[in-house]
Amino acid sequence: MTTISDTPRSYLRQVPVGRLPPPTTQAGLFGWLRSNLFSTPGNIALTIICILFIAWAVPPLLRFFLIDAVWTGTDRQACLASATNPQPGACWAFVRMWISYFVYAFYPIDQRWRVDTFFLALSFGAGWLLWPSAPRRDLGAVYFFVVLPIISFVLLSGFPAIGLAAVPTSLWGGVLVTIVVATVGMVVSLPLGIALALSRRSHIPVVRLLSVTFIEFVRGVPLITVLFMASVMLPLFVPERFSPDKLVRALIGVALFASAYMAEVVRGGLAAIPRGQYEAARALGLGYGRMMALVVLPQALRVTLPNIVNTFIGLFKDTTLVFIVGIFDFLGTVEAARGDPKWASPFTSVTGYVFAGLFYFICCYGMSRYARSVEAHLSRAGRS
């Protein structure tokens, strides 16, 4: 006797049917569009508006900055309307002609290799320090904070004894000044800001008072005022030969200003650390210094990393203010060059400003992306 199950039945399927593709309304490009762009009437309207906006804005921008743009030429004639190019776009030829001035400004041409070397040494140091899995990062820190400043100083301002002609800072400018001011500001403001934040939470009244006074005073005035004081008032108080170099004055002003902001950022991080952490560190027998260095600051800095980077990005863009006191930073060189009558055309200024904007965007976006990756790295490390 056979059971039903043993009996082969032709209408029973022995092999499962292959999976059907999901309905076209749910999957693939169409499904994605449907669920992301056209899910509700509101979304449909928004999508249509956005598409219309892109169609309205992007083609003319592409046309202006790429397709109709002028890439080569020797003077303004190239960027003016002509028979071959009746509707000229951005005048990139102008940027190409002036690019060396944007980078080096007045730095003597035969000495510009020194600036290049400085850029290389700086990016090497920054890469060493910022790449999380680089070998011997402690050595990297020594290089970045001790060796590099000395090398840079000797390279850039010169050391006649070893054959490097002196280059006064009045000849510095362009990207060089922007990088120098921003780097010095960042490198000085982080440790100084931490020190100020710790002093502000100190139990010694004098230390606390000094720190509070400094922070509140500096934060209470605009950076422009600080720069003006440094460059306009200081020379009136002290004889010319004792007053520090103009660039040094601006550097000090920017660095102190950034420190005050950094101090408040770090203080926020310190405040976020629960009391228990302090008490636990004390209970382990750690002194103040080791408690801060080993327990509190690592956690506080991790919490504040986004804010620290935010301050750095702000600082990087604030460097443009040194132009007010007659130092030609990158934006200052673009400002100067766009007045060149040899290149005067209706689009010269626009091109110059867009170029400057691109430069700042790339630098700031790079900083921001790096910070995101470090945050991700730290939060993984924090969980394990």
Partner 1 sequence: MKRLATAFAIATLLAFGMQAAWSQSPTLKAVQDRGELVCGSNGQLAGFGMPDPQGNWTGFDVDFCRAIAAAIFNDPTKVKFVPLTAANRFTALQSGEVDVLSRNTTWTMSRDTTLGVDFAAVNYYDGQGFMVRKALKVSSALELNGASVCVQQGTTTELNLADYFRSNNMSLKTVTFATLDEALKAYDSSRCDAFTTDSSGLYGSRLLLSNPSDNIVLPEIISKEPLSPAVRQGDDSWEDIVRWTHYAMVDAEELGVTKNNVDGQLKSPNPEIRRLLGVEEQFGQSLGLSNDWAYRIIKFVGNYGESFERNVGQGSPLKIARGLNALWTKGGLQYGLPIR
Sort residue 117 into left (φ over 0), alpha (ψ -120 to 50) or beta.
Answer: alpha
The residue within the footprint of partner 1, chosen from 345, 355, 363, 371 (CB under 8 A), is: 345
* Minimum distance of partner 1 from residue 92's CB (angstroms): 14
* Minimum distance of partner 1 from residue 317's CB (angstroms): 20
For partner 1, give the closer residue by CB, 110 or 138. 110
Exposure of 350 by Cβ count < 10 A (0-12 exposed, 13-18 middle, 19+ buried)?
Answer: middle
Q: Report the alpha-carbon angle 188-191-192, nearest 5.
A: 70
* Minimum distance of partner 1 from residue 21's CB (angstroms): 57
Binding mask of the shown chain, residues 74 to 103, with x at each position contacting partner 1 by CB under 8 A = --x----x---------------xx-xx--
Number of residues engaging partner 1 in binding (CB under 8 A): 43
List 329's β-bridge partners, or say none: 174
Binding mask of the shown chain, residues 240 to 259, with x at each position contacting partner 1 by CB under 8 A = x--x--x-------------
For partner 1, give the closer residue by CB, 300 or 334. 334
311 to 182, 242, 260, 261, 281: CA distances (angstroms): 11, 33, 11, 7, 30
> Within 13 Å of residue 122, how many CA atoms lie on the same side as its CB?
18
For partner 1, give the closer residue by CB, 97 or 281. 97
φ and ψ at 106, to 5 degrees?
A: -90, 5
Q: Does 349 bind partner 1 (CB under 8 A)?
A: yes
* Minimum distance of partner 1 from residue 344's CB (angstroms): 3
Q: Does 357 bind partner 1 (CB under 8 A)?
A: no
Q: Does 169 bind partner 1 (CB under 8 A)?
A: no
* Minimum distance of partner 1 from residue 174's CB (angstroms): 9
Please give the distance of CA 92 from its chain centroid, rounded to a whole number: 24
* Minimum distance of partner 1 from residue 355's CB (angstroms): 14
27 to 21, 23, 171, 218, 358: CA distances (angstroms): 8, 7, 62, 58, 38
Binding mask of the shown chain, residues 189 to 228, with x at each position contacting partner 1 by CB under 8 A = ---------------------------------------x
Contact positions vs partner 1 (CB under 8 A): 76, 81, 97-98, 100-101, 104-107, 109, 168, 170-171, 173, 228, 231-233, 235-237, 239-240, 243, 246, 324-328, 335-337, 339-342, 344-346, 348-349
